Amino acid sequence: MKDIAVIGTGYVGLVVAVGLADLGNRVTGVDIDDVKIAMLNEGELPFYEPGLKDYLEANIESGRLDFTRDIAAAVVKSSVVFLAVGTPPRRDGSANLEYLESSIDAVAEHAPSRTLVVIKSTVPVGTSRALGERIRSRRSAAGIEVVSNPEFLREGRAVQDFFHPDRVVIGAESEWAREILAGIYSALRLNEVPFVCCDMETAELIKYATNAFLATKITFINQMASLADKVGADIALIAKSMGMDGRIGEKFLHPGPGFGGSCLPKDIRALASTGDSFDVHMSLVKSVIAANEELKTRVVMRLKELLGTRIRGLSIAVLGLAFKSNTDDVRESPALRVVADLLEEGAFVRAHDPQAMDNFRAVFPDISYCASGHEAMKGADALVILTEWNEYRSLDFNLMSKVMKGRILLDMRNVLNSRLAREHGFVYRGNGRVIKELIQSR
Residues annotated as catalytic are: 263
Nearer to ligand UDX, 144 or 225 (CB): 225
Least Å distance, CB 151 to ligand UDX, is 6
Stretch 259-298 residues interacting with ligand UDX (CB under 6 A): 259-261, 263-264
Is position 323 an interface residue for ligand UDX (rule: CB under 6 A)? yes
Which of 36, 324, 374, 429 forms a contact with ligand UDX (CB under 6 A)?
Answer: 324
Least Å distance, CB 387 to ligand UDX, is 7
The Cα–Cα gap between 146 and 312 comes to 56
Nearer to ligand UDX, 78 or 211 (CB): 211
Is position 49 an interface residue for ligand UDX (rule: CB under 6 A)? no
Nearer to ligand UDX, 73 or 357 (CB): 357
Nearest-CB residue for ligand UDX: 263
Least Å distance, CB 163 to ligand UDX, is 15
Binding track over 236-265 against ligand UDX, x by CB under 6 A: ----------------xxx-x--xxx-xx-
Is position 320 an interface residue for ligand UDX (rule: CB under 6 A)? no
Least Å distance, CB 186 to ligand UDX, is 22
Least Å distance, CB 263 to ligand UDX, is 3
Stretch 140-179 residues interacting with ligand UDX (CB under 6 A): 151-155
Nearer to ligand UDX, 161 or 345 (CB): 161
Stretch 184-223 residues interacting with ligand UDX (CB under 6 A): 211, 214, 218
Among 223, 181, 218, CA closest to 198: 181
Nearer to ligand UDX, 22 or 151 (CB): 151
Nearer to ligand UDX, 208 or 369 (CB): 208
Q: Give, in order, the Cα–Cα distances in Å from 93 to each of 29, 277, 401.
A: 29, 12, 45
Least Å distance, CB 220 to ligand UDX, is 10
Nearer to ligand UDX, 264 or 307 (CB): 264
**Radius of gyration of the CA atoms of the chain, in A:** 24
* Surface-to-core class of residue 394, CB atoms within 10 Å of its CB (0-12 exposed, 13-18 middle, 19+ buried): exposed
How many residues sit in the footprint of ligand UDX (CB under 6 A)?
19
Least Å distance, CB 322 to ligand UDX, is 9
Least Å distance, CB 413 to ligand UDX, is 8
Nearer to ligand UDX, 108 or 228 (CB): 228
Which residues here bind ligand UDX, judged by CB under 6 A?
A: 151-155, 211, 214, 218, 252-254, 256, 259-261, 263-264, 323-324
